C-alpha cells in the first residue's frame, strides 16, 4: 500500500501536519455544530476534515474536535456522491484502519493536536 502524504502532512509532528493540510478547503457538509470539508497539502494529498462541536450549556464554552483523515481522490468522489446523512458512516469506514489527525479544543482545556490510529470515531455533536 502506498503511504499517504509527504513529510509535511504525514510527519510525526501532528501540529505541523495540521498546518500543512490547511491550504485548500472545500465543504461537503456544513451545519453549525458538524461539518465535513476537504483539505489538501501542497503535495496534493487530500484529507477529509470532520468538525464536531458539543455545546456546553453550563460552562458556556464549547467542546470542539476536528479529525483529518488522508483519503484518495477516488474516495473523495465516493464521499461527494453520498447524501449527507450517510457521510459520517462512510468516513468512519474509511478511517477504520488508517492513521488520522485529531485536533481537540475541550471545554476548559487547551488546544492540542496529535496522531491517532486504531479506528476513527466521530465525537457526539449537537
Q: Which residue ranges make up the site for Zn ion (CB under 5 A)?
A: 5-6, 8-9, 41, 43, 45
Looking at beta carbons only, is 41 or 52 nearer to Zn ion? 41
Q: How many CB atoms lie within 10 A of CB 90?
A: 16
Which of 69/87 has CB closer to Zn ion? Answer: 69
Please say which residue, 36 or 68, places its beta carbon nearer to Zn ion: 68
Residue-wise DSSP of 41-59: -TT--EEEEEEEEE--TTT
Q: Smallest gap, in angstroms, from Cβ of residue 68 to Zn ion?
A: 12
Beta bridge partners of 26: 38
Rounded least distance, CB 4 to Zn ion, Å: 9
Q: Which is nearer to Zn ion, 4 or 34 (CB)?
A: 4
Q: Considering the complex, what minimum distance in angstroms separates the CB of residue 6 from Zn ion?
A: 3
The nearest distance, CB 90 to Zn ion, in angstroms, is 23
Distance CA 10, CA 111 (A): 20
Residue 55 CA to residue 11 CA, distance in Å, equals 32
Strand, helix or coil for residue 124: coil
Amino acid at each position: 500500500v502506498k503511504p499517504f502524504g509527504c513529510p509535511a502532512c504525514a510527519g510525526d509532528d501532528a501540529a505541523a501536519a495540521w498546518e500543512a493540510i490547511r491550504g485548500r478547503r472545500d465543504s461537503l457538509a456544513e451545519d453549525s455544530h458538524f461539518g465535513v470539508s476537504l483539505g489538501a497539502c501542497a503535495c496534493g494529498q487530500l484529507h477529509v476534515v470532520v468538525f464536531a462541536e458539543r455545546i456546553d450549556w453550563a460552562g458556556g464554552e464549547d467542546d470542539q474536535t476536528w479529525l483529518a483523515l488522508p483519503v484518495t481522490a477516488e474516495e473523495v468522489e465516493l464521499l461527494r456522491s453520498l447524501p449527507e446523512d450517510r457521510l459520517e458512516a462512510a468516513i468512519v469506514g474509511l478511517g477504520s484502519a488508517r492513521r488520522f489527525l485529531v485536533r481537540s479544543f475541550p471545554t476548559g482545556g487547551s488546544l492540542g493536536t496529535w496522531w491517532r490510529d486504531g479506528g476513527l470515531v466521530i465525537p457526539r455533536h449537537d
